[in-house]
A and B are shown apart, each in its own frame.
Chain A
């Protein structure tokens, strides 16, 4: 018999029978609701993300939750609760846990290659120019624009030598 999801009414694909205190409880859930209840994991999530979620969950519960920024006093546990950081230094103070979160939220990217404030100094600008060129190089190779890739490679060497 086809059942609808107990929570949202969509067709149920996960059927669960639990026996607790001698009582039989049946649950019928769709994929999304089952995943959000923690009963199943969604099949289409990449394995790396699943691992990361697992690490984050266990890590943040234990020692990571105690991470504290010595500049603004925010703890990692507080950040998890609010979703808002306390000061620029938090990006370094929470780096080990924050980095995977950022990468996950940003299509896997972990480095800025855009605009640099003039006051950030030339070394910073150079560093980002190289990063930007490298990203362009990667894209050029991926799209098989080899002439452009060769040009970019030369420019990277130039900037690195300057």
Chain B
């Protein structure tokens, strides 16, 4: 498995199926872990950071978390490849931009990844298509158990798994789902939904996680509390109470739009599709905006000649690093806009 293999298709988690896929794009769970007897990363000397990166690479590979594992030394990777991994949600922006020794191990199909030397020594993550947290938590527990056989984790009798930032302490577990909420945005009810989320102690972020603005119609919702609850409790609360609210709100908003303004929805969805099928220059932002409306059109059964998988893939493959990787060329923003439009026309047909 090579990094280049990743370029031409989307990860398993973007295949557009899975429970509640009309609203939930994907589910993600991550665990933060640190080694006992070693400072957290920010307080490590350069030597210690290098030793850690080397040792953790060996241990992670030896733990055989998946049948096939690709290891990428982020420090040695090209800028474009780092960006590619960010676009695929396999590493964080912070991890891509750091300057110390660090890496990522990615399983085949990209359903799991382990970042080495991020904010914590290990950040284990599992990604799934649709709302699929129970399966994801089983998988991440299995990976954690495999690693735990080989590593001594920093663990405190009172606080549980110790993390560099105290907001992750305890389980070290962060559960998040990526939601597509175009109808709530359109009806202006999104603010209300966010306030409700805030009251439920959920954090809302943009498409690429921490530090990115919640813009467009895509939002990541995640738990803030990591201590004082079991892993199962965190997942069940999320799954049983929090996420269903959002799904319900969005579905209701879609139904109400279809009842009150079906022509307006038709117009927006089909106009967006027509633009995507005929544009010759298109920015990444405009692509996201239009694809979101097409996705809505497909979900409310007003567009039937495009499938969700294609739309989900286009969200990813039209991102700057993916485009440049596909064309094996570094491109100016202008040239990217042209290449993006050409690729979208190929994928969607010209109508």
Q: How many residues of A contact B (CB 8 A)?
A: 36
Q: Which residues of B contact A101 (CB under 8 A)?
A: 166
Asked if B156 and A132 sit within 8 Å, CB to CB, the answer is no
Question: Whose C-beta in chain A lies nearest to the C-beta of B38?
Answer: A87
- Tell me, in angstroms, the Cα distance from A82 to B37 when the chains sit together: 22
Partner of B153 from the list A74, A110, A117 (CB cut-off 8 Å) is A117
A109 to B164, CA, bound (A): 18
Task: Knowing A72-B43, A120-B155 are in contact, say whether A135-B228 is a contact too (CB < 8 A).
Answer: yes
**Residue-by-residue, is A107-141 near B (CB-CB < 8 Å gives 1, otherwise 0)?**
11111111111111000100100001001000000
Question: Considering the chains assembled together, what is the distance between the CA atoms of A148 and B155 in angstroms?
Answer: 31
Contact A112 B171 (CB under 8 A): yes
What residues of chain A lie closer than 8 Å to B149, measured between beta carbons? Answer: 118
Interface residues of B in 139-165 (CB under 8 A from A): 141, 144-145, 148-149, 152-162, 164-165
The reply to whether B157 and A110 form a contact with Cβ atoms under 8 Å apart is no
Task: Confirm or deny: A8 has a beta carbon within 8 angstroms of a beta carbon on chain B.
Answer: no
How far, in whole Å, are A124 and B159 apart by their CA atoms in the complex?
12
Task: Report yes or no: A88 in contact with B227, Cβ–Cβ below 8 A.
Answer: no
Distance, CA A106 to CA B169, complexed state (A) = 9
Q: Are A82 and B42 in contact (CB under 8 A)?
A: yes
Q: How many residues of B contact A (CB 8 A)?
A: 42
Residue of A nearest to B120 (CB): A84
Main secondary structure of the interface of B (DSSP, over half): loop
B165 to A, closest residue via Cβ: A84
Contact with B171, one of A91, A107, A110, A114 (Cβ below 8 angstroms):
A114
A112–B159 Cα distance when bound, in Å, is 5
Q: Is the CB of A105 within 8 A of B167?
A: yes
Please give, as numbers and ranges, the residues of chain B lying within 8 Å of A92 by CB-CB distance: 156
The total of Cβ contacts below 8 Å across the A-B interface reads 116
Per-residue 0/1 for B211-250: is the Cβ within 8 Å of any A Cβ (1 yes, 0 no)?
A: 0000000000000111111110000000000000000000
CB-defined contacts of A84 to chain B, threshold 8 Å? 40, 42, 119, 164-165
Of listed B43, B154, B164, residue having the most chain A CB within 10 A: B43
B201 adjacent to chain A (CB < 8 Å):
yes
Binary A-proximity of B151-191 (CB < 8 A = 1, otherwise 0): 01111111111101111011101000000000000000000
A98, CB-defined interface residue at 8 Å: yes
A96 is an interface residue with CB less than 8 A from chain B: no
Given A83-B165, A84-B42, A85-B40, the answer on whether A112 and B34 have CB atoms closer than 8 Å is no
Considering the chains assembled together, what is the distance between the CA atoms of A85 and B154 in angstroms? 13
Closest beta carbon of chain B to A160's beta carbon, Å: 16
Closest CB pairs A-B (n = 6)? A109-B228, A112-B160, A86-B43, A87-B39, A88-B154, A106-B227
A to B CB contacts below 8 Å, 11 in the list: A72-B39, A74-B43, A109-B225, A110-B228, A111-B228, A112-B156, A114-B173, A114-B230, A115-B171, A119-B153, A124-B155
- A sample of 10 more A-B contacts (CB under 8 A), given A88-B154, A111-B227, A112-B156, is A71-B39, A86-B42, A87-B38, A87-B43, A102-B227, A106-B169, A106-B227, A109-B227, A110-B227, A114-B230
